[in-house]
Structure 1
């Protein structure tokens, strides 16, 4: 009964909550910025480890230098997180990276200057302040840019840039004024109270200590180290613990059970979440799908650095595994607190750095207590037992439902990214640059390529094709579509083509009838939630009499979620839109597409007819066409190009009735290509239609 409830209720609720939470721009930005500083966090931790080792070896000056270096790196963390958040936000929302970075940086400087009046005020920024500043600034910038884009009076690029520059200056000035006013009127008068509250907020009892460890673990769900959130409280906690231990050594008081060393020794073995238990669980698990993470994680986990494991497994953004990640240190805390309170193990009496490996830190902190080491081992085993069912459930669920949102793929955490990652990042940035260059050097226009009926060479339809026209009038082929595809912006292009093509149809082509207007639709567009709103808008008025709108889906691109695609295509047909399959024979699930989707037309890729002149080529095309005709679809042969290809492609050499009959014998009635007409601007398209309707070739 419990297992059934877990599967049908609890897992479902986790999956739903993840879909809602992590599709949110704000949460994605926080996670992205946290992930971006992981290499810096690891380097900083390794510097601290080296500092501890150097101090143990008696290299005091070198140890102090390493300590200063890691502390400086830590001071820069907030600025780095703020910058990475701005970078992520700009790229994800297709905004200017330079603009977002500049406004975020200056806003953060103004805020930090208002908070601290020290000459090095920018080194006093805390990570919560940096994150909050980034979220506010990026959200405001995004909203304003969207509003500026909608203003009809600001359509030129210069006007938009001026408006955004003016707003950025105003926003930074307002930020400075508001923050400075709040500091002067509210925060500074309350500073003594705030300071006293922070000084007394560290855990001092069993209940507050348990709450403390839970709250330090939960932020890892979003990739944020709890230390960053509680750094101010921890500084007072460390000072109080050191004073307590010093007083005890001087015979002036008793030892407190709770101290930073208590948490380091009992609750962060392997890092936050007692992840040494998690590694043990992975090592002895029957399933080996997670073994790949064991090798890279173990060497760092020995020094309680667990970022590779947390991001690589992952724990981050995983609402299932975050449960044992919080539960294990909480149980460890309860066991260790009880054992210490009942004098089964000695109270921690020595200051130990968190970077000292488990067991060794216990030996040092308890002055060589074997009972404490035994308790260490027991807690590790108990933690592994708690992790085990969650890892098993996660593994099983990934196998049964690999496409569900709950189950994330590991994050690439290599300090030196692999070639593929570097290539993808370079391609993305290149695409951004190319798109910006296109937008600043001209505008998009539509061309139309006729489709003809082979029996009489009459035009029965046309395909709308996007082109780029430079400021000098140069027309560029649509190679640029690849850049938009890399940026996941194909839907914006497709929607523009749809609206412009239908507008051209109503304005220029309404005098012609019994024709089809065809537009291309990418897989991104089919899954875009705006699709049917755009369709409803462009079809709010009926098309001119005798005209039909047709959408071409590309067979050469793999369509994800075929069931959903089939449903969407069915909905489009209910709107009176015909569906054509483009590039048939050039891509992925060719035969499957014929039966899966509600098609009206199939356009054969020219690769299927290039071998017509070879032995067996015509028979092969005949069989392919028969398959297409079984679906009761019209068949179009495309890519009919130049006279130079007459000997390679039979259909392009149609000069006699015998050749016409040969092509028609395989069931091909329609064609499209340069041999008939190249893509034409709308005015030339109208002249061609006029002649074609009158019987003039």
Structure 2
């Protein structure tokens, strides 16, 4: 949209608000109610650019910020966005290089049975071993991977590598519950997800029941009916299914009851303030009780203190994950016999 003859930059903001309000009014298309939302970026001549190319580029940067801040809003361009845009392009180029030159790494964090203290599985977590930056954690690059679509080949690499490692563990350590792999919203909407998982299991020889796919609550609620279909197809393959970040995505209980998942993972944001924060205690109690009523296994992540452990055990949380037991580590650095290790879940623990 090109706005001319505006008296002040704020006028552009008011027009953006009106545009969003108009677009969000539902309309009917072939008998279906449709709602459109808009993320709008605004750049103003001449402060934000003196030619159309620069103005469009800067408005695009502002639009990405609007999307990051929850979508369906508008943002004005600032100079800081140019710096962020350059960093984003640098990360994107770096990720393409990382995929081509084997710079990605997987670390694994054990999941502990709260009753016996035995390791019942591990979660695979991606890292980037950058030649200059060192070890880069996903909070720095995953959002860029999602935006650019690079999360699809990265996710495929994570899946294949985790399955290969799990197969090796099965052969050397004997049976264990599963290896958990995160599936991003972008991956979940890919039409060939089922084929990718099936092919990976066949190539690595990992039994389907030894693989658990963690899908975020917000991802499964983007298109619940399609989600239900895909989850049933994955269930038929024999893989385990878990809802990650449970309690943060405002899911419909009706759909949750219908989803063929075996477990839910309590988000670390609910665990971090246990047991001192009454609100966190109430939410965790409710999540565990609801999940158990639905016959679902419950995992709590981010467990770091004996007090958190004690509270979660008192609420019959099934499995625990966090620095209390082990930080995520490279497979080669795991102590021998990890898969048969037992942790003392009744007292203060030393991390491995």
Instruction: Give TM-score scaled by structure 2 length.
Output: 0.70
**Structure 1 residue 449: Cα displacement:** 0.7
Partner in structure 1 of residue 9 of structure 2: none
1:497 and 2:158 equivalent? Answer: yes
- The corresponding residue for 2:77 is none
The answer (yes or no) to whether the contact 1:449–1:463 under 8 Å persists in 2 is: yes
Per the alignment, residue 452 of structure 1 pairs with 112
Tell whether 2:126 aligns with 1:466: yes
Unaligned runs of 5+ in 1: 1-37, 44-291, 294-312, 314-393, 653-658
The reply on whether 1:613 has 2:273 as its aligned counterpart is no
Relative to structure 1, the CA distance from residue 410 to residue 431 in structure 2 (aligned partners, 3 Å threshold; closer, same or farther) is: closer
Larger relative strand fraction: 2
Residue among 289, 296, 302 paired with 1:639: 302
- More displaced, 418-427 or 617-626? 418-427
Distance 1:553 1:520, change over 3 A: same
In the TM superposition, what is the alpha-carbon distance from 1:675 to its structure 2 partner? 1.0
1:118-146 deviation digits (Å, cap 9, x = unpaired) = xxxxxxxxxxxxxxxxxxxxxxxxxxxxx
Structure scoring higher RCO (CA < 8 A, sep ≥ 6) equals: 2
Q: Any conservation in 2 of the 1:579–1:600 contact (CA below 8 Å)?
A: yes
Contact 1:515 1:546 in 2 (8 A): no
Q: Are residues 412 and 637 of structure 1, via their aligned partners in 2, closer, same or farther at CA, if it must alter by over 3 Å?
A: closer
Counterpart among 250, 253, 258 of residue 588 in structure 1: 250
Hey, what does 2:316 align to over in structure 1? 667
Q: Note the C-alpha offset of 1:542.
A: 7.6
- The correspondence of residues 175-254 of structure 1 with structure 2, limited to 5 A, is none
State the distance in 2 between where 1:580 and 1:675 align: 22
Confirm or deny: 8 A CA contact 1:522 1:554 kept in the other structure: yes
* In 1: Cα distance, 2:235 partner to 2:325 partner: 30
Task: Map Cα deviations across residues 537-587 of structure 1 (whole Å, 9 max, x no partner).
Answer: 112258457951110001255742110011101100100011101111233
Which residue in the other structure is 1:539 paired with? 201
In 2: Cα distance, 1:411 partner to 1:397 partner: 24
Of residues 213, 222, 225, the one that matches 1:551 is: 213
In the other structure, the counterpart of 1:518 is 180
What is the CA-CA distance between 1:422 and the residue it aligns to? 3.4
Preserved contact between residue 432 and residue 487 of structure 1 (Cα < 8 Å): no
Offset from partner CA, 1:591-645 (integer Å, 9 cap, x none):
455324221111111232324224575454323211111211100111113x5xx
Q: Within 5 Å, give how 1:261-660 maps onto structure 2.
A: 396-397=28-29, 400-402=32-34, 421-424=60-63, 430-440=87-97, 443-471=103-131, 474-479=134-139, 480-511=141-172, 512-540=174-202, 543-544=205-206, 548-557=210-219, 559-589=221-251, 591=253, 594-609=256-271, 610-615=273-278, 618-641=281-304, 643=305, 650-652=307-309, 659=310
Q: Is the 8 A contact 2:116 2:342 kept in 1?
A: no
CA distance in structure 1 between the partners assigned to 2:143 and 2:128 by the alignment: 13
Quote the residue 1:684 is aligned against.
333
Shift of 1:529: 1.7
Judged with a 3 Å threshold, the aligned counterparts in structure 2 of structure 1 residues 492 and 541 are, in CA distance, closer, same or farther, namely closer
- Relative distance call for 1:687 and 1:422 in structure 2 (3 A) is same
Instruction: Indicate the SS of the match to 1:603.
Output: strand
Closer, same or farther: CA 457–483 of 1 in aligned 2, 3 Å: same
Aligned residues: 294
Q: Residues 262 and 296 of structure 2 are in contact (CA less than 8 Å); yes or no, is this contact kept in structure 1?
A: yes
Structure 2: gaps spanning 5 or more residues: 5-17, 44-51, 65-81, 345-349
The 5 A counterparts of 1:26-65 are: none
| 8 Å Cα contact 1:586/1:607 also seen in 2 | no
Q: Is contact 1:510-1:544 (8 Å) kept?
A: no
The verdict on how the C-alpha distance between 1:529 and 1:615 changes in structure 2, with shifts beyond 3 A counting, is closer
Question: 2: distance between equivalents of 1:545 and 1:562?
Answer: 28
- The alignment yields a C-alpha RMSD, in angstroms, of 4.0
